C-alpha cells in the first residue's frame, strides 16, 4: 500500500462493503439493504436522505452495532465490527458511538442532568454532564424533569446524553421527525455546534431534503441502496433552514 493510500485509510472512521440485510424468509422475505458501500471520514457530517422504507435506518443501525448484516462487512478504524461477538459489540456501542433517535427515551423521574449523568458514569473519558448540556444550550435547565421541558429541549437533552461520553461517531435517526420546523432548527443547531466544537464524525438520517443542505455530503437512498451521492460545495447553517 502506498503512503498516500495509507493516509487516506487512516482518515476513515467507518468503511462498509457490500452490506445486505434480509428480514424474514420465503414469501415474507424483505431485502432492506442491497449491496451498500460507504466510507465515512473523520470529522465529516453526512446526511442519509430517503423515503420511509429506503433502508436508511437499517444501515445506521448496522453502522452503530445495533444490528448485524446478512452479508457484507463494516470496519471501524480498521476493525471488522461485523465479526464481533455480542460483548465486543456492546463495548463498541458504549465506547465509540452516540445515538440520537426520533423519540427521546429520557427517564421521566430523572432531571436533565441526571439523565446525562447515567451515560457519563460508564464512559471511558466523559465530559461533565453540565458541560454537555451547556453545549446544547440547556445550561439553565439542568434540574428540570422531562415533563417540564419542551419536545425540542428533551431532544437536546438526548443529544447531550449521546455526546457526553465523547463518542467517535454520532448517529442521528430522524432527530427532528417529531418536531415542528422552528424547534427542529434548534435541535439541528445543537448537532451543528457539537460537530464544529468537538469534531465528532456525524451521520444524520432524514426524509427532509432541506436538512441535507447542512451536510458536507448527501447520500440518497432508494430501495435499500445508495442511489447517488452529492457533495455540497456550500453548506447552509442550521439557522438558515426552514420548511
26 inside domain: no
235 inside domain: yes
Q: What is the mean pLDDT of residues 104-128?
A: 93
33 inside domain: no
Q: Which domain holds residue 170?
A: 43-67+88-240
Residue 222, pLDDT > 70, answer yes
Mean pLDDT of the chain: 92
CA 216, 240, 202, 220: dihedral to nearest 10 degrees? -60
58 inside domain: yes
pLDDT of the residue at 43: 94
> 174: closest CA among 57, 22, 3?
57
Q: How far apart are CA 117 and CA 174, in angstroms?
A: 24
- Read off the CATH number of the domain in which 119 is found: 3.40.50.300
Confidence class of residue 224 from pLDDT cuts 50, 70 and 90? Answer: very high
pLDDT of the residue at 92: 96
In percent, how much of the chain has pLDDT > 90? Answer: 87
pLDDT of the residue at 135: 94
pLDDT of the residue at 25: 79
pTM of the model: 0.90
Q: What is the mean pLDDT of residues 68-90?
A: 96
Confidence class of residue 18 from pLDDT cuts 50, 70 and 90? Answer: very high
Q: How far apart are CA 160 and CA 27, in angstroms?
A: 43
Q: Any residues with CB less than 8 A from the CB of 28 and at least 6 apart, and which?
A: none
Say if CB 160 and CB 129 are below 8 A apart.
Answer: yes
Cell numbers at residue 98, please?
452516540
Confidence class of residue 151 from pLDDT cuts 50, 70 and 90? Answer: very high
141 inside domain: yes
pLDDT of the residue at 11: 86
181 inside domain: yes
16 inside domain: no
Q: pLDDT tens, 117-145? A: 999 888 888 999 999 999 999 999 999 99
150 inside domain: yes
**Domain total in the chain:** 1
Amino acid at each position: 500500500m502506498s503512503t498516500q493510500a495509507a493516509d487516506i485509510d487512516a482518515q476513515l472512521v467507518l468503511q462498509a462493503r457490500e452490506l445486505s440485510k434480509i428480514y424474514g424468509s420465503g414469501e415474507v422475505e424483505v431485502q432492506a439493504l442491497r449491496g451498500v458501500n460507504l466510507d465515512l471520514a473523520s470529522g465529516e457530517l453526512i446526511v442519509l436522505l430517503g423515503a420511509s422504507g429506503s433502508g436508511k435506518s437499517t444501515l445506521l443501525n448496522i453502522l452503530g452495532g445495533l444490528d448485524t448484516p446478512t452479508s457484507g462487512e463494516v470496519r471501524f478504524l480498521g476493525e471488522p465490527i461485523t465479526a464481533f461477538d455480542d460483548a465486543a459489540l456492546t463495548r463498541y456501542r458504549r465506547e465509540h458511538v452516540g445515538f440520537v433517535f426520533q423519540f427521546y427515551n429520557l427517564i421521566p423521574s430523572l432531571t436533565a442532568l441526571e439523565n446525562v449523568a447515567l451515560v457519563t458514569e460508564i464512559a471511558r473519558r466523559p465530559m461533565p454532564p453540565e458541560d454537555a448540556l451547556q453545549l446544547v444550550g440547556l445550561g439553565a435547565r439542568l434540574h428540570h424533569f422531562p415533563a417540564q421541558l419542551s419536545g425540542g429541549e428533551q431532544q437536546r437533552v438526548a443529544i447531550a446524553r449521546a455526546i457526553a461520553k465523547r463518542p467517535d461517531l454520532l448517529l442521528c435517526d430522524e432527530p427532528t421527525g417529531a418536531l415542528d420546523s422552528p424547534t427542529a432548527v434548534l435541535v439541528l443547531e445543537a448537532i451543528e455546534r457539537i460537530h464544529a466544537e468537538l469534531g465528532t464524525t456525524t451521520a444524520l438520517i432524514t426524509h427532509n431534503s432541506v436538512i441535507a443542505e447542512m451536510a458536507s455530503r448527501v447520500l440518497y437512498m432508494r430501495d435499500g441502496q445508495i442511489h447517488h451521492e452529492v457533495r455540497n460545495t456550500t453548506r447552509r447553517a442550521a439557522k438558515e433552514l426552514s420548511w
